[in-house]
Chain A
């Protein structure tokens, strides 16, 4: 579905941001991408909807070369939600903000109404529908940004640092959204520093450093490899650290899991 074939990307200032990336992500996969700032994670994301085109190699979305089609048509399938809500909110009302994307993608009046209602409902934004987006709290703004993108029902939702500055409620809501999308067979790609948020997802994890993919494997393999984490300048989730120090073969996947097993004395 998303295919990177020997992609290299060189920025206008000469910096090589991506070095020979080969990657395949299926339509309904949950993938997390980790790495230090400057590793190339956001650059990678921007290649997925055509915002950036590779200098060498190519990116195929559903078999179509991203250089041969527009960002708009790619965005219909790959919904990107960027880190800073203040970089995209501008409408007079929460409702208008959601309608914006739908209008751009050519849905008719009836569809727009239907989808807007549905998404407002799902994200608990119904009471806020007439509020000006700029007056919302940080968490509400983030929810709105994700809602605005999911309104047009892309095949894959891509989130860039979705938990920065978010409190507990919003983090839990995010888990809910991810689960719902998986249930519907949608793909989710998350770039995040928040390893404590990522660990319970136990997802396929791609580790990037210096424009390259250092490792692409299951979360338990990646986060238990201290050498790898050090090389990529990533911290180890606490439960993974605990599992390593207790020399466990199967790491604790979550607090519940850890409690059960510790009480059983395994």
Chain B
């Protein structure tokens, strides 16, 4: 029986000064080791959901908070953010704005220094993170000398060095070109495999994450409108209605289904689609 890393019950949150809840009536459970992709248009509430996991909500962003959010057995509402930082590693969208120090290795150590780790332990962990993320050669480089893809790797290293159970990535690839985005996504999959790290990734270019997600959650106007295996969710949820752009292959299959071809479930990439196609034709 795998542990539940995230348990959310009847959760709603309205930002201070806002009329409508940013997120409402969310019930969600995530098990250890899952890779969950969350998709939603801007303003749909996905950023709010993510920030509810590491305590930014409600400790930094105040508002009306209802329901419960549990992360690794801790109630977020009653746990200070610095403790949550050891449970939840958070990687933000803009690589530039999450690197503080002047060298890669110092920045990776940032969280450890903040939490008062003893020097020996810090050195061990920094070496470990540099290795894991393939950053050993770049350890003394300054952040502005790095490419965006490299910066994002440094950000990930800085998050996992605290050995969290959960890694949350908020649109980590939207400022990267698609090839680099793929590299980052593969990296995340590797981390999930080798460390057993539970991953929650927000990404709207579904074709990029199709290969790694074992669960897809679609959010619209603060509510979860789809939750399950990606193939199922894409069959059942009208992505266009919720402001998302379906990958062309998905669009194609939905249209074929409408015209009577029984393609089920919906394949996420071309190769899988071709296999489905073979099954349907004689």
Contacts and interface: CB of A to CB of B under 8 A. Distances in A.
A and B touch in the complex (CB under 8 A): yes
Interface of A: 36-38, 137-139, 164-165, 167-169, 171, 193, 195-196, 199, 233-235, 237-239, 241-242, 245-246, 255-256, 258-259, 262-263, 265
B93 to A, nearest CB: 9
Contacts of B147: 37-38
B251 interface: yes
Contact of B274 (A139, A245, A259): A245
A233 B255 CA distance: 31
Interface stretch (B58-66, B125-133, B171-179): B171-179
A245 B252 CA distance: 16
B252 A258 contact: yes
B41 interface: yes
Contacts of A242: 249, 252, 270, 273-274
Contact of A167 (B182, B244, B256): B244
B247 interface: yes
Interface of A is mostly: helix
Interface string B269-282: 11101100100010
Contacts, number: 81
B144 to A, nearest CB: 12
A167 B41 contact: yes
Given A238-B207, A259-B259, A36 B244 contact: no
Contacts of A262: 252, 256, 277
8 contacts: A36-B179, A137-B43, A169-B243, A235-B179, A238-B248, A239-B249, A239-B252, A245-B271
Interface of B: 41-43, 147-148, 174-180, 182, 207, 240, 243-245, 247-249, 251-252, 255-256, 259, 261, 269-271, 273-274, 277, 281
B247 A238 contact: yes
6 closest A-B pairs by beta carbon, nearest first, are: A167-B243, A233-B179, A238-B248, A37-B177, A241-B270, A235-B178
A246 B270 CA distance: 10
A237 B147 CA distance: 25
A119 B155 CA distance: 42
Contacts of B247: 196, 238
B248 A196 contact: yes
Given A139-B42, A234-B178, A255 B148 contact: no
Given A168-B244, A171-B245, A239-B248, A137 B180 contact: no
A235 B177 CA distance: 10
Contacts of A167: 41-42, 243-245
Nearest to A164: B174
A98 B226 CA distance: 40
